[in-house]
Amino acid sequence: MLMELVLKDGNVYSDGKFQKKTIHITDGTVTCLESHPKHDGSLVVDCSAFYIFPGFTDVHVHFREPGFSYKETIVTGSLAAARGGFTDVCTMPNLNPAPDSVENLQKQLELIKKDAVINVHPFGTITKGQNGEELSDMEEMAESVCGYSDDGKGVQADGMMEKAMLKAKALGKIISAHCEDNSLLFGGYIHDGEYARLHGHRGICSESEWKQIERDLKLVEKTGCKYHVCHISAKESVELIRQAKKKGLDVTCETAPHYLIMNDMMLEEDGRFKMNPPIRSEEDRKALVEGLIDGTVDMIATDHAPHSLEEKSKGLEKSNMGVVGIETSFASMYTYLVKTGVITLEKLIEVMYLNPSRRFGFDKGIEVGKMADLTVFDLDKKYTIDPAEFKSMGVATPFKGHEVYGECKLTLCNGKIAYNGGLNIEND
């Protein structure tokens, strides 16, 4: 715990805007937030060249424990998140055993308590073993999960999804849906677009995503469930969610940095470009950006999905689905969207901190009386993304070699240092 620390003259995000302020932290708690404070004998860090944000929230990550610790662990995943400026993440339930009961969930909770350096909030599954046939022990798990998801698999049966929504509604919890109609996949593994046709690959059509979103929105209208759509990638998905919000449905959605920055003609014959849903067309990318600007897309999540080197070294067809992104999310978004004038820095913080924290019920913010959950960035620092420097065990990123701006200098979570990027301070 940090006994006494002063972050002096930083550009602090507070009340929706940036202001030059100095943050006093005592015993891990923010005790003073002023424009012209007096300094005592505390350790003072000059932050006049830095920006200080509330810790980011990522509502879609895979930390792989229990069951797949050769890909990632709670330790490495949470360290990677802290290096990316995140203090809260929601972990998906693609685990062994799957968190479909209190007993199975407890195995994950014990690892989180022992090893996490940030706040890790697990999802419970929607169905037993994510098999789509029987509801999980949703009620029994409710107090310990941030919501329910069968991520990696769409719930295929309409009746099963309706039952899940009704149960979630009764519990006051959120359904976070991976929307994918298996009948429309046809063995595809990248976007069914120009690159696939030019290079002889089997494509995944956009309808496989938006068709199930369309179904679920009808069920949301019927049940009144709190509903969140994972990793949208298609222009049709954006429009469906836009119209659902106009109807007043309790719906939010996320997209990921790679969908906002890349199109399918940027693919390479390399497993680090393979994820589900796939990177789609330029038209889809532009629709996602427009959705971000107008508020249809509520938040950016990474779908951080580490795999072993072997699993990602088999090209586009045979590599596992999933790329890493939690250490590069802010820098890529800041470089490609903020510095280019597409969105403001305030908007980026809104979709990486404010909206996801509010939607999933995390009490966040740089405020007097709260524990210090914040991250400090040098926005002028330019560097090349090098997976060899990652804290994550996963190295497969489509942003390898990209020159970006925005380096994390410090992340504090619950008043403790979760990541130190070179500042001369230590936990007591």
Q: Which pair of structure tokens corresponds to residue 20?
A: 């030059």
Q: Which pair of structure tokens corresponds to residue 185?
A: 């996949």
72 vs 395: CA distance, rounded Å = 11
Residue 36 confidence (pLDDT) = 61
150 vs 359: CA distance, rounded Å = 19
Report the candidate in 323, 392, 420 with the shortest Cα–Cα distance to residue 77: 392
Sign, CA torsion 408/229/62/315 = negative
183 vs 195: CA distance, rounded Å = 23
The helix or strand, by DSSP H or E, that contains position 111, with its residue range, turns out to be: helix 102-115
Q: pTM higher than 0.75, yes or no?
A: yes
Strand pairing category for 17-26 and 4-14:
antiparallel
Reply yes or no on domain 4-52+369-420 having CATH 2.30.40.10: yes
Beta-carbon contacts of residue 134 (< 8 Å; ≥ 6 apart): 127, 128
Residues of the chain with pLDDT under 70: 1-2, 36-41, 427-428
Residue 37 confidence (pLDDT) = 56
Residue whose pair of structure tokens reads 């509604």 in the numeric block: 169
Beta-carbon contacts of residue 41 (< 8 Å; ≥ 6 apart): 4
* CB count in 10 Å sphere of residue 344: 11
In this structure, what DSSP letter does residue 392 have?
S
81 vs 420: CA distance, rounded Å = 12
306 vs 420: CA distance, rounded Å = 23
366 vs 383: CA distance, rounded Å = 28
Q: Which pair of structure tokens corresponds to residue 318?
A: 């045979």
CATH architecture designation of domain 56-359: Alpha-Beta Barrel (3.20)
* Three-state secondary structure of 33-90: EECCCCCCCCEEEECCCCEEEECEEEEEECCCCCCCCCCCCHHHHHHHHHHCCEEEEE
> In a 10 Å sphere around its CB, with 0-12 CB exposed, 13-18 middle and 19+ buried, how is residue 341 labelled?
exposed
96-110 pLDDT tens trace: 999 999 999 999 999
Catalytic residue numbers, as ranges: 303
Residue 41 confidence (pLDDT) = 57
In this structure, what DSSP letter does residue 426 have?
-
Domain ranges (residues) in the chain: 4-52+369-420, 56-359
Q: Mean pLDDT, the chain, as a whole number?
A: 96
DSSP result, 124-183: BPSBGGG-SSSB--HHHHGGG-S-B--TTS----HHHHHHHHHHHHHHT-EEEE----GG
Report the candidate in 35, 371, 26, 378 with the shortest Cα–Cα distance to residue 6: 26
154 vs 175: CA distance, rounded Å = 12
| End-to-end C-alpha distance for the chain, whole angstroms | 6
